[in-house]
Structure 1
């Protein structure tokens, strides 16, 4: 694996667009640290006048943007090489400063809620500038029953740094310390398993390679099973503590409430998926038949059902494929894609110590960034489309919303990214004239349903059960977590799947579990994206116009209302069942093709 300095500069992101140097970071840190004393002049005086209230909110906004700049720069530089202590320090210092700021600013919300409603209304009416914070006031007032006294809010804010250890420990273990074994590849050459090459190995036609990669990866997680169970349980306890402190009945209610999502959305997803588990069982049967195996194992889930000569797609080819596939979104969207491709928004290739996976992130007022570990597979092309969907969602929100309203909620975060993937796969299906190629693409589309809608719903169900058991006082040992995870795999995949013992430990390697009740949004976002992309491809100009409004909406309204702009109502199970109807059609086509 290449070292960071061996990667061509043109394939790395340009962090100088955020800050020109480490010295600039240090200067901004000192400037922000010194500015924090400015909070004192506002505490106890927010009701004095509309001007005072506005000045406080504006000051808090400025500090927040500076800390965002410090943290994003430090974290992204750290992600370039997670073993680099210099940037680990930057990231840690920025986060500690954010926690200090949270403590110093914690009086703001309780103090606003203490202002009599009539007085607050008068201040807002008298001070035109306060209109900038209308949505802020709406959110604050919704959370009145979950907001504590100023002193208690300060205490909770100060506790955040002390309680973040479980996530930090997992991140360092999974990205910096963990070492996977070497295996023989299809050419009988020794290669080391990594986060970056694991899925590519699982897609190999050589079954022994897949089996070796699968068993090799999970042998490491099993070896640290007790430690990872303790880390996982600690993070659940953290979530339970903050939910209880804020007067929520559960960690789930807290997480969904923070995003203005009704809890029935979660329940509707699980119910709709369970009602359609026979479709996943049918998928397993088709896969078993297509691969011609007597037993279908978990390491057989990623290899294409239809064999074809393995294609290595260059990054230049991948960019061209994404641009062509997203043409239905119009010239404005395409021109922004090109800008990102040509101006080093993207960190492209894996290097030694680089953070695994992919993401999009950035700082308000500066273009978004994308981290990839591009490996030349079709999956990595879809990852490019996916992450650029996130990036342009952020770009549109930043352009059309002020800083306080720009950051869209997690619930809608996966819609734009998955919509891009859906448009790309349908484009590729449309242009192919080869039966084998079509079968390969149908397989890929089906795997998106299996991997995003079903798999993430299963993750969501695992989270729901583990949080609930913790709430009842159960000790979440590695054995218990493995047994819960095994049962869910057996239920979801059905009788034609051999549920290998190794998969029992999959829960221990999922980073998103350290952001409680996040993963369900992949499934709901996927469902919404299938609906939106279908309407755009059908030429529905109203939906396309609504989609741009959605992309530009940021957090200017609730996530449910934002999606209604595109004709999708996620307060019902309809988008999920409609998406699974498309899955059913794909299953029927695949049955004819194999």
Structure 2
């Protein structure tokens, strides 16, 4: 598609480049029928309130009804929202999305009694109910998961009180978001062409990727000067968020905020600690990479604003969509015939909305319903990055496809801890294929740097952020105060440790904690590093071992949420309770670094 032309209207996009949402609902009229049916079912489920302890049959009927309602509201909401994403100015689908969101809230309210009632049933009575009704066996894991939380569940009145203050608990995140996205104004800087350009968060990385070091320096100084002016306010919002986490952990009788956050996925703290320890053991590799970056840039001192500076000429060759599809298919052949067949179906059967059009939702995602095949939204721009994005999103899509096909609805959904494994593994296999096919020195260097940067940004950086989170929560749990100065000092020590002696740490870089929204969603970032490491390890096994590793991996994709994340990964061939997967992933980082050093002439 010609990038110089105005964006086409939705109606001008060829049918073969659009997704087929008709596979969810053939018409809006069918959507309306399900909408009406769902509203009727809400009366039925509410009639079940206060009956769950009466008999195994009553409990079973309620769980089945909840499941039916969940499938309906999933279809209703996904269809409406994805139709709106096609063209966000379409008033018909704006309205359908609003109605779907409202109905979703009604569903949540109508079914909210189920878990508290289950938890209120005495253990011996619950055992009798389960033994009396064979149909409840299907819900064994579901019930066990609810009951696992019993020691951390309060009385009904206490739970109601906690629920009523949930909006207050979300205040730190909301305040930071408003400050960060609405009120924060950045100054103008002079770009490479000598023009005054307003600095924005969106333009910041573009400026850091400039070949002109003066532009990089000015953008960096301007960005952190702006955050520095608000450092005390942001320290207060982050401190409030940490204190909230500690309060909820203690109220629910968890040993720490970290253990409370890991409880939902049934993750032992050793997994978190092993990640940090394993990365610490391989920090010399990152220090070497920083030294190589300094050499390739020809600098006497490497500074934090040099981290994104281009080391080689960007591969600007166009990658048309059909070429990307062919390359991805070829790169994923190691996953076997079954995977390749479904991948082909995804590329040819209306799963993907390929190109950008006026008012289409930006970015990319994979989504869908249990009742239909998965979907992928793209805004494909015929470049290398978008080819990787397509491979990534198709990894999510095929994970959902295999999960939905092989698991009942109750256990089809998989947790975030494993969600990025399938997508990142696809990227790893695509990168391996491209490196295998690329002999030209400059292009090979570009690919190696692209991959090294993924490791740096996803394994090293996210682990550093995870270590920072752990530290500041432990400080509050020990009764220590968090201030802008203490947060900056803690972050500064980690910067020195991670980036090593080759990096001159600018004072402003230690304010980086002030601009990271993920810190308001506690202990989340470590999952990026563990997911990337698990995917790297599995990709290596697939390439080295062949069919046995492929079989384990496909079984993982087919398992959905039928077991806890760590158990699913163990069956796939990765034991995240040990540091081994992290070490294996960083071994790959070391091998990539070795080759880049050889090409540069360092070795």
Q: TM-score range by the shorter chain?
A: 0.7 to 0.9
Pick aligned residue for 1:420 from 393, 413, 426: 426
SS at match of 2:366: strand
What CA deviation, in whole Å up to 9, does each residue of 1:408-429 have, x standing for no partner?
1221112111111111111111
The alpha-carbon distance between structure 1 residues 369 and 344, as it changes in their structure 2 partners (threshold 3 A), is closer
Distance in 2 (CA, whole Å) between partners of 1:162 and 1:67 is: 28
Partner residue of 2:490? Answer: 484
Q: Kindly indicate whether the alpha-carbon contact (under 8 Å) linking 2:296 and 2:311 is maintained by their aligned counterparts in 1.
A: yes
- In the other structure, the counterpart of 1:384 is 390
Structure 2 CA distance for partners of 1:217 and 1:474, relative to 1, 3 Å: same
Instruction: Please give the secondary structure, in 2, of the residue aligned with 1:571.
Output: coil
Instruction: Return 5+ residue gaps in structure 2 as ranges.
Output: none
Q: How does 1:104-115 map to 2 (within 5 A)?
A: 104-115=110-121
Report whether the alignment pairs 1:445 with 2:451: yes
1:513 corresponds to which of 519, 528, 540: 519
| 2:569 aligned partner | 563
Q: 1:141 aligns with which of 143, 147, 169?
A: 147
Output the TM-score relative to the length of structure 2.
0.84
> 1:307 Cα deviation (Å)?
3.4
Report whether the alignment pairs 1:345 with 2:347: no
Aligned partner of residue 559 in structure 2, secondary structure:
coil
Report the equivalent of 2:268. Answer: 262
Tell me how far apart the structure 2 counterparts of residues 237 and 90 of structure 1 sit (CA, whole Å).
Answer: 39
CA contact 2:24–2:371 (8 Å) conserved in 1: no
Deviations 1:112-134 (A, max 9, x none): 34445454344334433222212
**TM-score under structure 1 length normalisation:** 0.85
Residues 390, 221 of structure 1: CA spacing in aligned structure 2 closer, same or farther, 3 A cutoff? Answer: farther
Once the two structures are superposed, the pairs formed by residues 462-473 of structure 1 within 5 Å of their partners are: 462-473=468-479
In the other structure, the counterpart of 1:368 is 374
Partners of 1:144 and 1:367 in 2: CA distance? 36
Structure 1 residue 385: Cα displacement:
2.0
CA contact (8 A) 2:7 2:356 kept: no
With over 3 angstroms needed to count, the CA separation of the structure-2 counterparts of 1:280 and 1:363, relative to structure 1, is same
- CA positional deviation for 1:560: 1.3
Asked if structure 2 preserves the Cα contact closer than 8 Å seen for 1:103 and 1:158, the reply is no
1:493, distance to aligned residue in structure 2 (A): 0.4
2:439: which partner in 1?
433
Distance 1:351 1:193 in 2: 26
- Cα distance change on mapping 1:514 and 1:94 into 2, 3 Å: farther
Structure 1 residues 470 and 92, CA gap change in structure 2 (3 angstroms): farther
Q: Distance in 2 between matches of 1:81 and 1:488?
A: 44
Shift of the 215–446 alpha-carbon distance from structure 1 to 2, 3 Å rule, reads same
Q: Provide structure 1 residue ranges, at least 5 long, that are not aligned to the other structure.
A: none
Post-superposition offset of 1:105:
3.7
- Alignment of 1:545 onto 2:573: no
Alpha-carbon RMSD across the aligned residues, in angstroms, is 3.9
Q: Give the drift of 1:242.
A: 3.3
Count how many residue pairs are aligned between Structure 1 and Structure 2.
593
State the distance in 1 between where 2:322 and 2:185 align. Answer: 31
Q: Does 1:493 align with 2:482?
A: no
For the 8 Å contact 1:298–1:503, the answer to whether it is kept is: yes
The question of 1:401 aligning with 2:379 is answered no
Greater mean alpha carbon deviation, residues 274-283 or residues 219-228: 219-228
1:360 is paired with a residue whose SS is strand
* Separation in 2, partners of 1:526, 1:339: 26
Task: Select 2:293's aligned residue among 287, 309, 326.
Answer: 287
Can you list the C-alpha shifts for 1:501-549, whole angstroms capped at 9, x where unaligned? 4434433443433432121111111111111101111243111011011
Between the aligned partners of 1:75 and 1:236, the Cα distance in structure 2 is: 33
Once the two structures are TM-superposed, the CA of residue 588 in structure 1 deviates from its matched residue by: 2.0
Contact 1:102 1:158 in 2 (8 A): no
CA positional deviation for 1:273: 0.9
For residue 466 of structure 1, report the CA deviation from its aligned partner. Answer: 2.6
How far did residue 207 of structure 1 move?
Answer: 3.5
Which deviates further from its counterpart, 142-151 or 523-532?
142-151
Superposition deviation, residue 572 in structure 1: 0.8
1:527 aligned to 526, 533, 542, which one? Answer: 533
CA pair 456-377 structure 1, distance change in 2 beyond 3 A: farther
Superposition deviation, residue 590 in structure 1: 1.9
Q: Deviations over 1:424-478 (max 9, x none)?
A: 1111111112223222222222222211110110111122123333434555454
Q: Deviation string for 1:145-200 (max 9, x for gaps)? A: 12233444444445445544444555566667877666666566777666666545
Cα 1:190–1:491 change in 2 (3 A) is same
Q: What SS class does the counterpart of residue 552 from structure 1 fall into?
A: helix
Q: Is the 8 A contact 1:176 1:353 kept in 2?
A: no
Q: Secondary structure at the match of 1:468?
A: helix
Rg larger for = 2
Deviates more, 1:542-551 or 1:338-347: 338-347
Q: Deviations over 1:47-95 (max 9, x none)?
A: 2222111111122223333444565567667878999999999878866
Is 1:277 matched with 2:283? yes
The Cα of 1:261 is off from its aligned counterpart by 0.8
User: How far, CA to CA, are the matches of 2:391 and 2:477 in structure 1?
Assistant: 39
In the alignment, is the contact (CA less than 8 A) between 1:196 and 1:350 conserved in 2? no
8 Å Cα contact 1:175-1:354 kept in structure 2: no
Q: Do the aligned partners of residues 192 and 29 (structure 1) sit closer, same or farther apart at CA in structure 2, a change above 3 Å counting?
A: farther
SS in 2 for 1:420: helix
Matched, 1:322 2:328: yes
In the superposition, relative to structure 1, how do residues 63 and 347 fare at CA in structure 2: closer, same or farther (>3 Å)?
A: farther
Q: Determine if contact 2:75/2:371 at 8 Å carries over to the other structure.
A: no
Q: Contact conserved, 2:249 with 2:260, CA < 8 A, in 1? A: yes
Match of 1:334 in 2: 340
Q: Distance in 2 between matches of 1:59 and 1:390?
A: 29
Whether the 8 Å CA contact 1:102–1:154 is kept in 2: the answer is: no
Cα distance change on mapping 1:34 and 1:164 into 2, 3 Å: farther
Q: Is the 8 A contact 1:298 1:500 kept in 2?
A: yes
CA distance in structure 1 between the partners assigned to 2:322 and 2:482 by the alignment: 47
> CA 1:255–1:30 in structure 2 vs 1: closer, same or farther (change >3 Å)?
farther
